[in-house]
Structure 1
């Protein structure tokens, strides 16, 4: 079941992020739960939060800032369900587009976004720290789709 997360879901959300490793800080998660310019959708399975998506409202667009899924749940459609939920929120907000950034090496996420109609419309060289925590940086693909 997918629901919009609230303040009382913060512990479950923080626990999920700790294992999903989406790179979103606790402070940003807490702020998003309280802000009227953000929406955090959660995918629950038997009272356990197995995935979340964070969408921020911009003046004309919306930005998908994160999707996090428990490692053991990946590849089972959780990300797809969350993406559909945030697209519905963006439509409710009357956003023109949904924007996102994704690591160039994250093939699974890129396939998910392309399958939902996102197209690459930009590139940021050396945007992310190295995925393995080592030296170097990784580039980001900028993607968007109309709502």
Structure 2
């Protein structure tokens, strides 16, 4: 993801996460830590015909990765794009030498939970009221070895993923 991707990402963000969408400043802050030799973040976007149809981000620190976000446009649900974005993040976690990857997922987002479980993530706890202002709980999940996910994917035809 680059700075010029932020505006189209925000449109998708607000559509998919209307109650707890990230702000422009949050994305700028994340991108500020994604370049150079001291980079601790990896953000990617998926484009199709010049339109951003998905994005994802990871933070790495002290041998642990933390998936910050994965989003796929509604008209691309069920196409495998979420799996492809997750695969890109796990590759980044491996490059950052992470021995485990964590994430939080809304307890009511069963579709995402199934994706993470297919890759080997296991539930380890809850964060009560994590998603605000809706006060929705988060399911905390962990993948012990990001270098060998259970369900690696190759690609979604016609969709380009880049950082």
TM-score of the superposition, structure 1-length normalised?
0.85
SS at match of 1:52: strand
- Three-state SS of the structure 2 residue aligned to 1:49 is strand
Verify the 8 A CA contact 1:7 1:34 in the aligned structure 2.
Answer: no
Q: 1:127 Cα deviation (Å)?
A: 2.2
Larger strand percent? 1
Distance in 1 of aligned mates of 2:15 and 2:29: 20
Identify the residue that residue 10 of structure 1 maps to in structure 2: 6
Once the two structures are TM-superposed, the CA of residue 13 in structure 1 deviates from its matched residue by: 2.1
Using the size of structure 2 for normalisation, the TM-score is: 0.78
Instruction: Give the Å deviation of 1:52.
Output: 0.3
Match of 2:117 in 1: 114
Structure 2 unaligned segments of length 5 or more: list them: 34-38, 147-163
| CA distance in 1 between partners of 2:23 and 2:71 (Å) | 12
Q: How far apart in 2 are the matches of 1:113 and 1:23? A: 21
* 1:71 paired to 2:74: yes
Unaligned segments of structure 1, at least 5 residues: none
Aligned to 2:150: none
Q: C-alpha displacement at 1:46, in angstroms? A: 1.2
**Corresponding residue of 1:144:** 142
Cα 1:139–1:18 change in 2 (3 A) is closer
What's the Cα RMSD here? 1.6
Which structure carries more relative contact order (alpha carbon 8 Å, separation 6+)? 2
Match of 2:131 among 112, 119, 128: 128
